[in-house]
Structure 1
Amino acid sequence: MPISARTAAIAALGVVAIALGVSFAMTRAKASDPFAQCRETGRPAPIGGPFSLTDETGKAVTDRDVIAGPTLLYFGYTFCPDVCPLDNSRNAEAVYLLEQMGHLVTPVFISIDPGRDTPELLAEFTDILHPRMIGLTGTPEQVKAASQAYRTFYKIQDPNDPYYLIDHSTQTYLVFPEIGFVENFDRDTTPKDMARRVACFVEAAPK
């Protein structure tokens, strides 16, 4: 075989080997992470966990009661003047878009203000945004435990002010039953983009 032909053959074999290697790596990645094709920023650190809270009807619930299907979790408070209403409106709009795609996703609002957010107030807040949005509150200890499980932050600015504001995290978390947390969304994520990305996870979830 001429040297040039031999070189071409070796190069071709090299290309095939690389292609097989890439294919094998992608197959392994998909097997270990069924949502690999849906992630845009890499696999996030594992967060989340069990919680015990009170829903907007006054009933004691756990994460297993609340996360019965694909769920979007957000930590905030009803007295929030701007961020929480905007973020949860975005989440609700994304859920409506997902419904049009044939995907049922539950929006959940976990209050970080148990001193003021009664179940009745949460019901008013969530009913305005989406009929299936679930509002959760609890004792300060229960709320703190749920927040720590999802590594969120919140701090009252001035506890002595009856109209106090609360600094807090603004991430939204996509969670599945049995699987747990799979992705988070920043404030700048649009309803359309959130719906598109959540749909990918829903469709890729092991059945």
Structure 2
Amino acid sequence: MNRIYAIGAAGLLAALIGGTAGYLFFAGQSNADPLAQCREGNVGGADIGGPFTLLDKTGTEVTDKEVITRPTLVYFGYTFCPDVCPFDMSRNAEALDLLKDAGRDVGLVFVTVDPGRDTPQVVGDYAEAFSETAIGLTGTPEQIDAAAKAYRVYYNHQPATDDFYMVDHSAFTYLMLPGIGFADFYRRDATPEQIAKGVGCMLDVTG
């Protein structure tokens, strides 16, 4: 995905977040929000994330409850992505290393938005190339669409040329906490250190 598409997709998701969840955040500011001090995205209370059923590396159906069993960074992309996805996944994996060094156990999940090319084995190997504990997930087009909608993820397959095509998609990393759900999101310009600091703050607050 080229950078113009990435910027446009990110802008669209930001608008979606503002339109569908922004009012929840501002309306909730009168109530104590212990996680507010930790948030980078400023979307406390946003309706992001939810149940999904996808396929893991072995082709076995797994649910969100089976995958997100610990604090987890969730990223949507695709393995043919030329620059955005590899950069973001590398950064996310580096953040995990920083958290691990600090004694934090945090997971990383990569969900493809290109199920036509990204088979269970392909997406599983791709995720593990960035972190040996990362989980890659794919599924049917319907399953992927349902998961993307739950996370307010924008994606759009471009017309194919000689069987080659790109997929425009938003590029946010979501922090999901078991028992709590969506906690924060991190933009493309967030550094590994910023993500590790934000996640660490969340874990300090939630215990």
Smaller-chain TM-score bracket = 0.7 to 0.9
Secondary structure of 2:147 counterpart: helix
By how many angstroms is 1:161 displaced?
Answer: 4.3
User: 1:188 is matched by which residue type in structure 2?
Assistant: D
By how many angstroms is 1:126 displaced?
Answer: 1.5
Gaps of at least 5 residues in structure 1 are: 1-27
Residues in 2 aligned to 1:199 and 1:161: alpha-carbon distance in whole angstroms: 46
| CA displacement, residues 61-81 of structure 1 (integer Å, 9 cap, x when unaligned) | 000000101000000000111
Secondary structure of 1:75 counterpart: strand
Are 2:199 and 1:179 equivalent residues in the alignment? no
Are 2:97 and 1:99 equivalent residues in the alignment? no
Please name the residue that 2:16 is paired with: none
By how many angstroms is 1:58 displaced?
Answer: 1.2
Report if aligned partners of 1:49, 1:150 keep a CA contact under 8 Å in 2.
yes
User: 1:137 is matched by which residue type in structure 2?
Assistant: T
Secondary structure of 1:103 counterpart: coil
Are 2:44 and 1:34 equivalent residues in the alignment? no
By how many angstroms is 1:163 displaced?
Answer: 1.6
Residues in 2 aligned to 1:111 and 1:167: alpha-carbon distance in whole angstroms: 12
Secondary structure of 1:174 counterpart: strand
User: 1:54 is matched by which residue type in structure 2?
Assistant: L
Please name the residue that 2:43 is paired with: 43
Q: Which has the larger radius of gyration?
A: 1
Report if aligned partners of 1:29, 1:36 keep a CA contact under 8 Å in 2.
no
User: 1:71 is matched by which residue type in structure 2?
Assistant: T
Please name the residue that 2:125 is paired with: 124
Task: Give TM-score, length-normalised by structure 1.
Answer: 0.82
Report if aligned partners of 1:30, 1:36 keep a CA contact under 8 Å in 2.
no
RMSD across aligned C-alpha pairs, in angstroms?
Answer: 1.8
Please name the residue that 1:9 is paired with: none
By how many angstroms is 1:39 displaced?
Answer: 2.1
Gaps of at least 5 residues in structure 2 are: 1-27
Task: Give TM-score, length-normalised by structure 2.
Answer: 0.82
How many residues are aligned here? 179
Residues in 2 aligned to 1:131 and 1:185: alpha-carbon distance in whole angstroms: 22
Please name the residue that 2:170 is paired with: 169
Secondary structure of 2:114 counterpart: coil
Are 2:142 and 1:144 equivalent residues in the alignment? no
By how many angstroms is 1:41 displaced?
Answer: 4.7
Instruction: Give percent identity, aligned residues only.
Output: 51
